[in-house]
Amino acid sequence: MADNAVLSRRSLLKGSAAAAGAFTLGFSIPFTEAQAQAATPEVNAWVVIHPDDRIVVRIARSEMGQGTLTGLAQLVAEELEADWSKVSWEYPTPGENLRRNRVWRNFSTGGSRGIRESHQYVREGGAAARIMLVQAAAKEWGVPEGECRAAKSVITHTPTGRTVTYGKVAAAAAKLEVPKDVKLKPASEWTIAGKSVKRLDTVDKLNGKQVYGADIRLPGMLNAAIRACPVFGGTLVSFDAAKVTGMPGVKKVVQVDRRTVAVIADHWWQAKTALEALPITWDNGPHASASSETIAATLREGLDAEQAFEGNKAGDAKGAIASAAKRVEATYSYPFQNHACMEPMNATALWTPEKCEVWCPTQNGESALAAAIEASGHPAAKCDVHKVHLGGGFGRRGRSDYVTQAVLIAKQMPGTPVKLLWSREEDMLQGTYHPITMARMVGGLDKDGNLVGLHMRISGQSILSGVNPQGLQNGRDPVVFQGLNPGGQEGPFGYGIPNLLIDHAMRNPHVPPGFWRGVNLNQNAIYVECFMDELAHAAGVDPLEFRRRLMKNTPKHLAVLEAVAKGIGWGSPSAPGTAKGLAQIMGFGSYVAAAAEVSVSNAGEIKVHRIVAATNPGHVVNPDQVAAQVEGSFVYGLSAAFHQECTVKNGRIVEENFDTYPAMRINEMPKVESILVPSGDFWGGVGEPTIAVAAPAVMNAIFAATGKRVRSLPLKNADLRRA
């Protein structure tokens, strides 16, 4: 029975066929790379076709539930003219990518970019393979290539009706030159892409066979539990290993870095038990007295600060507001949040004096490899990373801190693979958190209720400052303005306001920020869309009509908003006790809107009855998977809106598990109707944008139901009881 979960040689090979030759792990692998390639002809980097016609599409991006694996395979298969029933997939390794001059390009899987950033070159990869297969068949038959056509993995010589399957000519095709400048099919001719084909990765998720990073087992492997100083900026002073080395299974207690200690044992439960018994002395460092209150005070100061970075500016907002007939002002706030992936952070590493190999769930195989190279002390050519499916990512697994740790631990056990698994508590305390911000919104209305000026002052944390300071532009973090920009993939701002100022007073607390599914679009959509609702009510104008007046030059934004308004029955009476709210935003390259119908009981309990969502992502590669992303976005967005907040006390995060950091469950889940309105003229993402409209649509409906405006998240802190 124990063999069930030990990775079989076959499954190891399946996950790393591209690097089979480079891959040895203390037990022999029967193929050299050349033999492996001969056995499984690689037509080009993207497409492998076996003699029995099975097709393996190489996927560089990571699958973490979002369906990108299936979508990318559909795009390759479409241009390949493949028989979809014969298509499977594999991950090439980042090390192989490096050795092959980055033939698979970017491995990074975040920002809803998996498909929208690579659709062109993966389709070209599929098309090039098809051309090569046809050329090989034509050559074998001695006929002009132009007389042959490919469909469903079969090449037909049209004049004679002769046919051959891809598997028969793949080896010959592989020897041909890869064509350049291939022509792609228009979306109107798609037969595989654009269709709701089933996911390629479902079956193993139904019977426990899917191997996640936490499930990796290698021969002779040990397990590690870890604890870093819970106070950010603190360090490890000492630990008393002698107190735990006699405990069952314990092999070694190791310092990992200047703030981290780990226990290595036969089994993880033994390692965790010993770690909990380990006496540790921390130096809590310079932030030991920081709290949610001190952080909030810093942000509040930024609301009035003189200096701020501009994000979007038109006319004279302050002047227009000063001379407006009516001034409306409100201050909003958004907390720290942990990604809380269901699978806690983990990585398995094998370090020897000659090489280093890592098995891990990662959103960015190349940055995981870079982390492994740096931590191992080995040259790049001696390192590799084997990607496994992620038990959730949500941005957290774009960071490679856990990979670095695993390698630093394995380095202290040369020749023995060690799996590092974080406890849920470690995962909650060592996050890279949704940035904390506040926003002061000030609007000016003329006597007819038109918005003549808007000043949005964001105060708070910059993700780039924490994650990638080189990305700052003279100190300014452009990512802060997601959805608020004058143009581009993370804008344009949906409202034409004659006098507009959106600026950012950067205030960076000591809690490390990270990209958190939806990123800055989340709070920006809440700030803008709830305040638009406030302005509409102040003007005495219907919130949809108020927005329409400002959206004359942003028809795509307006189209999704109109779609959800129609879907929810905006303007018609709500069911007794319920009320409706709307929101729209543009981000991650897509236009999204949501409408919510909610009720609030006398005791202040909120129930979301129904959601209607509309998405214009330009192109839709798999409608059913886009719908799944839209549905899931409401779970992620409403979990955040209702329940989730990481508070700070004595410099550290207070919430350590799902009991104090709950997520939405099925009993809270509303019906979601997803409307897709792809306009066909661009490529946008779908994994994230809808999250941003979940909260404001619900918050605006709460106001409509109660007359109470909630401006601070999460909603669990709001008192909505009727007096």
Partner 1 sequence: MASLNVNGRVVEIDAHPDTPLLWALREQAGLTGTKYGCGIAQCGACTVHIDGEPVRSCSITLGSLKANQKIVTIEGLSPDISHPIQKAWLQLDVPQCGYCQSGMIMAAAALLAKKPKPTDADIDEAMTNICRCGTYNRVRAGIKLAAGI
Which residues sit at the interface with partner 1, rule CB under 8 A? 1-6, 64-67, 198-199, 201-212, 214-215, 217, 223, 248, 267-270, 273, 340-344, 389-394, 421, 423-424, 624-625, 628, 631-636, 639, 657-659, 662-667, 669, 671-672
Please list, in sequence order, all residues whose beta carbon lies within 8 angstroms of the beta carbon of residue 19, skipping any fewer than 6 positions away: 33, 92, 93, 95, 96, 384
CB of 456 to partner 1, least distance (A): 29
**Closer to partner 1 at the Cβ: 292 or 690?**
690
At residue 314, the 3 state secondary structure works out as strand
CB of 624 to partner 1, least distance (A): 7
Q: Could you give the CA distance from residue 374 to residue 674 in angstroms, rounded to a whole number?
A: 45
**Closer to partner 1 at the Cβ: 561 or 694?**
694
DSSP string, 670-696: PEEEEEE---SSS----SSHHHHHHHH
Residue 549, CA atoms < 13 Å, CB-side half-sphere: 17
DSSP string, 585-628: EEETTEEEEEEEEEEE-TT--EEEEEEEEEEE-S--S-HHHHHH
CB of 709 to partner 1, least distance (A): 27
Q: Could you give the CA distance from residue 544 to residue 80 in angstroms, rounded to a whole number?
A: 46
CB of 664 to partner 1, least distance (A): 8
Query: Residue 633 region, left (φ>0) first, then alpha (ψ -120 to 50), else beta?
Result: alpha
Nearest to 618 by CA among 117, 67, 198: 117
CB of 672 to partner 1, least distance (A): 6
Please check whether residue 526 is in contact with residue 330, taking contact to mean a CB–CB distance below 8 angstroms.
Answer: no
CB of 269 to partner 1, least distance (A): 4
- Tokens for 533, please give them: 């609702």
Q: Could you give the CA distance from residue 692 to residue 669 in angstroms, rounded to a whole number?
A: 17
Identify the bridge partners of residue 456 per DSSP, sorted by sequence position.
441, 502
**Closer to partner 1 at the Cβ: 333 or 633?**
633
Instruction: For residue 581, give the amino acid letter.
Output: G
**Closer to partner 1 at the Cβ: 317 or 519?**
519
**Closer to partner 1 at the Cβ: 288 or 342?**
342
DSSP string, 348-373: EEEE-SS-EEEEE--S-HHHHHHHHH
**Closer to partner 1 at the Cβ: 326 or 424?**
424
**Closer to partner 1 at the Cβ: 61 or 711?**
61
At residue 442, the 3 state secondary structure works out as strand
Nearest to 64 by CA among 337, 296, 482, 360: 360
Compute how many other C-beta atoms are within 10 angstroms of the C-beta atom of residue 381: 12
**Closer to partner 1 at the Cβ: 589 or 632?**
632
**Closer to partner 1 at the Cβ: 231 or 274?**
274
**Closer to partner 1 at the Cβ: 232 or 422?**
422
CB of 698 to partner 1, least distance (A): 15
CB of 47 to partner 1, least distance (A): 24
* 425-to-345, 390, 433, 658 alpha-carbon distances in Å: 11, 19, 14, 9
**Closer to partner 1 at the Cβ: 215 or 645?**
215
CB of 67 to partner 1, least distance (A): 7
Q: Could you give the CA distance from residue 347 to residue 387 in angstroms, rounded to a whole number?
A: 10
CB of 59 to partner 1, least distance (A): 15
CB of 265 to partner 1, least distance (A): 10
At residue 474, the 3 state secondary structure works out as coil
- Tokens for 500, please give them: 């507009």
CB of 342 to partner 1, least distance (A): 4
Cα angle value 43/45/48 (rounded, 5°): 45
**Closer to partner 1 at the Cβ: 124 or 656?**
656
CB of 210 to partner 1, least distance (A): 6
What is the separation, in whole angstroms, between the first and last Cα of the chain?
A: 61
Please check whether residue 412 is in contact with residue 350, taking contact to mean a CB–CB distance below 8 angstroms.
Answer: no
**Closer to partner 1 at the Cβ: 390 or 458?**
390
